[in-house]
Chains A and B, each alone.
Chain A
C-alpha cells in the first residue's frame, strides 16, 4: 500500500533498528533451520516475508532485499526497477516519470537514507538483480550467509594457531590444538 510504504520510509530509522533485531534472531535460529532443512523452511518463511514486507514496503519478492541500502524504499517499486538511484526523468516535486501520481522511489530512498544510521550504504554500487531468485526468501538467504560467515570466522580463530605451526601440529597435535581453550585457562565459566 502506497500510504504504508510512505510511512515506513518516514520511519526508516525505526525500521532499520527493527531489521537489525530481526536479523539477529534469524541468525540465532540458523542451527534450528539447518536441522529442519533450509529447503523445508523456505516456503513458510517466504510466505510470512511476502505478507509482512508486502504490507509495509510493497515488496515484490525479488529475493535480494536491499531495503537497508535504499532508505527503506523498495527499488522494485520503481517502474524501471532501478537499483542505483533515480533516472533523469523525475518530475518537479520529486514525482515519478512513469507514474506521475507516485513519489519517485529514489527521492524517497535518499530521504530515508538520510534518516538512517547506515544510510551511507546508498552510495554503494549495487549489481543487477538476479532474476532467478524471484519469489525466494531474502531473509533466509541473508541470515544463512551471515551465520555461515560467523561460523567461518570462529573456525578461523580456532585454527589460526594450528595453521601458523603446521609442523608442530603434525608431530604433536596437543602442541597446537584445534580447540577452544579450557575455561580454567581463560577464567570464564563453562556453560556445560
Chain B
C-alpha cells in the first residue's frame, strides 16, 4: 500500500533541515538561540483522548514542547508513547519520556521507531524511579538499560542507522535526544561529570529536576562551563510552583531526588496566600536561572498546578513575545 492510501492519517516522514538532527520545534528554538520553555503534562488515568487534550491545553500556549511522562514515580497512567502520538497529531511539540524501569532493550528500540513513525521528534532518556515508591511495589523492576546506555543506543539508531544488534534500520528515527540531570542532589561534586558522560553518550539537550537552591545550581553550572559542556548541550533548568509549605515538605520527604532548602519552606510557611507565593517564587527562580550563563531554557513541572503555568511563563517574560503554539512538526 502506498502512502496515498492513508494520506488522511499519515504524514510523510520528513528529514530534518541541514544542521538539525530532528527538525523538531524545540530543536529549532534552541539552535536559534532563543530561550526555550518545556512543560510537563499530568497524564490521565483514562483511555479518552479528550482527557489528554484537556491536560495539554493550559501548557500548549507557552511551551515549545510538552513532556509526556513515562509512569513517573512508578505510578500507572496512560503511556507516554500514546500521549506523545496524540499531541503530535494535534500540532503540539512533545517530549516522549522513556524510563528504563519497565521495558527491556527489545521493547524500547521498537518503541523509538514507533514514536518516530507517529511524528514524535523529541525523546527524553531516564533511569526511572524505583518500583517501591509507586502504586504497584510488587512489580518487577527491569532496568535492562541505564539512562546512559539508552542514550547511546538511540544515538546509534539515529546516526548509524542500526539496532544494537547491528541490523540495519531502513529509515532511522530522527530524534532530538534528551537526558535528565539533578544538579542539587548528591554526589554534588560528581554531577557535572555525570552530565559529561551523558553528553558523550549522545544527549542533545538536558532537562533538570527541580531547582530550588540557586547557590547549588550556580556551583553546578560553573563547573559545567569549566568543562565546556554548555556549548555542547542545551540545558533546560527544572522549575515548578509549590502549593504550600506542607506540600513542599511532603515532596521533599516522599518524592525521590527533590531538594528544597529550609529557607524556601520557611518562606512558604510565612505566606498569607501560599498558592500565590509559590507562583511568585517560581517566577523569581526563572528570572534568576535565566541570568545564569549556559542555561538555554526552563522545564516547568507544575504537578496539579498546571493552571498556573501560562501565568508563570508570561509574567517571567522569558518568551519575549514569542508564541510557541502553532501547528507544525512536533
A interface, CB within 8 angstroms of B? 79-94, 97-98, 104, 106-107, 110, 123, 125-129, 131
Evaluate whether A125 and B149 lie within 8 angstroms (CB atoms) in the complex, with A80-B130, A89-B129, A98-B130 already known: yes
Query: How far is A94 from B186 in the complex, measured between Cα atoms in Å?
Result: 6
CB distance from A6 to the nearest CB of B (A): 16
Residue of A nearest to B195 (CB): A85
Asked if B26 is at the interface (CB within 8 A of a chain A CB), the reply is: no
Contact among A80, A87, A125 for B201, CB-based, below 8 A: A125
Binding stretch for chain A, among B177-185, B309-317, B321-329: B177-185
Query: How far is A89 from B72 in the complex, measured between Cα atoms in Å?
Result: 13
Evaluate whether A89 and B256 lie within 8 angstroms (CB atoms) in the complex, with A80-B146, A84-B148, A107-B186 already known: yes
Residues of the B chain whose Cβ atoms lie less than 8 Å from the Cβ of A104? 186-187
Contact among A83, A93, A98, A110 for B146, CB-based, below 8 A: A83
Residues of the B chain whose Cβ atoms lie less than 8 Å from the Cβ of A89? 129-130, 182, 185, 256-257
Inter-chain contact A82/B185, CB cutoff 8 Å: no
Q: How many A-B residue pairs have CB under 8 A?
A: 99
Residues from 200 to 233 in B contacting A, C-beta threshold 8 Å: 200-201, 209
CB distance from B295 to the nearest CB of A (A): 18
Residues from 279 to 293 in B contacting A, C-beta threshold 8 Å: none
Residues of the A chain whose Cβ atoms lie less than 8 Å from the Cβ of B186? 90-94, 104, 107
Query: How far is A83 from B181 in the complex, measured between Cα atoms in Å?
Result: 16
Asked if B196 is at the interface (CB within 8 A of a chain A CB), the reply is: yes
Inter-chain contact A88/B257, CB cutoff 8 Å: yes
Inter-chain contact A110/B149, CB cutoff 8 Å: no
Name A's interface SS.
loop
12 new A-B contacts at CB < 8 Å, known A86-B190, A89-B257, A125-B148? A84-B148, A84-B197, A85-B146, A88-B209, A90-B187, A91-B186, A94-B187, A98-B130, A107-B190, A123-B200, A127-B149, A129-B144
Quick one: which of B144, B145, B190, B209 has the most chain A CB within 10 A? B190
Query: How far is A84 from B202 in the complex, measured between Cα atoms in Å?
Result: 13
Inter-chain contact A84/B149, CB cutoff 8 Å: yes
Residues of the A chain whose Cβ atoms lie less than 8 Å from the Cβ of B185? 88-90
Asked if B152 is at the interface (CB within 8 A of a chain A CB), the reply is: yes
Contact among A85, A88, A90, A98 for B148, CB-based, below 8 A: A85
Residues of the B chain whose Cβ atoms lie less than 8 Å from the Cβ of A93? 186
Contact among B143, B149, B187 for A86, CB-based, below 8 A: B187
Residues of the A chain whose Cβ atoms lie less than 8 Å from the Cβ of B132? 98
Asked if B105 is at the interface (CB within 8 A of a chain A CB), the reply is: yes
Query: How far is A123 from B193 in the complex, measured between Cα atoms in Å?
Result: 8
Residue of B nearest to A125 (CB): B201
Asked if B246 is at the interface (CB within 8 A of a chain A CB), the reply is: no
Inter-chain contact A123/B197, CB cutoff 8 Å: yes
CB distance from A130 to the nearest CB of B (A): 10
Contacts A/B (CB < 8 Å), 11 sampled: A79-B141, A80-B141, A81-B146, A83-B148, A88-B182, A88-B209, A90-B187, A97-B130, A97-B257, A126-B149, A128-B145
Inter-chain contact B129/A86, CB cutoff 8 Å: no
Query: How far is A92 from B256 in the complex, measured between Cα atoms in Å?
Result: 11
